[in-house]
Amino acid sequence: MENESVAEDESVVENESVAEDEFPAEGESADEAADLHLHTTRSDGRLSPSDLVRQAHAAGVRVLAVTDHDTTAGVEEAMAEAARLGIRCLPGVEVGVQCLGADIHLLGYFADPRGPALQALLSDLRRAREERLGAMVQRLRLLGLPVTFASVRRSVAPGSPVGRPHLAAWLVARGWVRDLEEAFRWHLGDGGPAYLPNRTPTPEAVLRILLASGTVPVLAHAGVVPSEEVFERFRAAGLMGLEVHHPRHDPATTARLRALAAQHGLLETGGSDYHGFGRDLPPGSVRAPAGAVARLDAARREVPRILETLYG
């Protein structure tokens, strides 16, 4: 899993200069066009799984991963659409984990929509989100915003994970704030007056379940991880990769993360984290480095060994 010796700035340019309608030449490795971080309507994205796959395909993406928050509900539809279009869709998930006061996101690749232990974890996380939504609604009401749990809950399909974007959408729709940005800046952002963290299992508990389910765990948007201590906690518990390429990473951050991944023998992944709102970059706008998908496939075969080593 060692890094290629591509010059740092070269990889950044490569990531940012992707033409949206440029299709890879016949026979070119599909790895060149992999977007491994995408959201759908099954969590807080704007496109259905099928529409997302079609849009990614139209942007030249040849391998994508659907990584909705705390659910794999969109995976099967996306994989069917990808098969129809002749591209590859990896089943994925993005799981929020509280660690030392921070909300850390793990991407799980090869997340089995029918794996019982994984699905039990995800349904626990979604249930905790319901409780948190109720508590955040109370906080907003104390701020004088007449939101109700029922009105927000109605805007999200039963069984789908609820979160701050849905509260923000309510505030925008009723004219209490101008846009999602303002909703987060004034009320909902980390440390904001209506913010509450999700209640989640520990990093060790989550990583153990992911690994036991055959899922490859990768630290999402690793540039926002707040401390060495947090990183080390995940690394020691079985983390297998870092999301190095992400719209929130500036070139210096990307370079630092590439070095960190190389130092610890971690995979290097990347994606657009497309939700379809506001100033989001389109699917395919940020891509995994060449060879990342093949290394992810290889990492998948290593999961049982890592599980055995760390958790017996």
| Token pair 């389910």: residue | 213
- Whether residue 206 contacts residue 199, with contact meaning beta carbons closer than 8 Å, is answered with no
Residue 3 C-beta: closest distance to Fe ion, Å: 24
CB-closest chain residue to ligand AMP: 163
Output the six-digit token pair for 312: 């017996």
Query: Which of 96, 223, 276, 289 contacts ligand AMP by CB under 6 A?
Result: 96
d(CA 215, CA 92): 8
Binding of residue 249 to ligand AMP (CB under 6 A): no
- Quick one: which of 116, 288, 291 has its CA closest to 213? 116
Among 181, 204, 280, 302, binds ligand AMP (CB under 6 A): 181
Return the SS3 of 216: strand
**Contact partners, residue 100, CB within 8 Å, separation at least 6:** 226, 227, 229, 230, 233
Out of ligand AMP, Fe ion, Zn ion, none, which partner does residue 32 contact, by CB within 5 to 8 A per kind? Answer: none
Q: Which is nearer to Zn ion, 94 or 268 (CB)?
A: 94
Structure tokens at 296: 């992810």
Distance CA 65, CA 274 (A): 11
Burial 208-222 (b: 16+ CB within 10 A, else e): bbbbbbbbbbbbbbb
Q: How far is the CB of 155 from Zn ion (least distance, A)?
A: 15
Q: How far is the CB of 198 from ligand AMP (least distance, A)?
A: 6
- Nearer CB in complex with Fe ion: 224/306: 224
223 near ligand AMP, judged by CB under 6 A: no
Q: Which does 163 bind (CB under 5 to 8 A by kind): Zn ion, ligand AMP, Fe ion, none?
A: ligand AMP
Distance CA 227, CA 198 (A): 19
| Tokens 């995976």 sit on residue | 75
CA distance 17 to 211: 35
**Identified binder of ligand AMP from the candidate list 110, 170, 176, 184, rule CB under 6 A:** 184
Does residue 108 touch ligand AMP according to CB under 6 A? no
Site for ligand AMP in 274-303 (CB under 6 A): 275
- Given 44, 77, 81, 243, the residue binding ligand AMP (CB under 6 A): 44
CB of 254 to Fe ion, least distance (A): 17
Does position 273 interact with Fe ion (CB under 5 A)? The reply is yes
Encoded tokens for 8: 């740092």
Question: Taking CB under 5 A as the rule, does residue 220 contact Fe ion?
Answer: yes
Chain residues binding Zn ion by CB under 5 A are 44
Choose the contact partner of 220 out of Zn ion, ligand AMP, Fe ion, none; CB within 5 to 8 A by kind.
Fe ion
- Other beta carbons less than 10 A from residue 88's beta carbon: 16
By CB under 5 A, residue 105 contacts Fe ion: yes
Q: Does 163 bind ligand AMP (CB under 6 A)?
A: yes
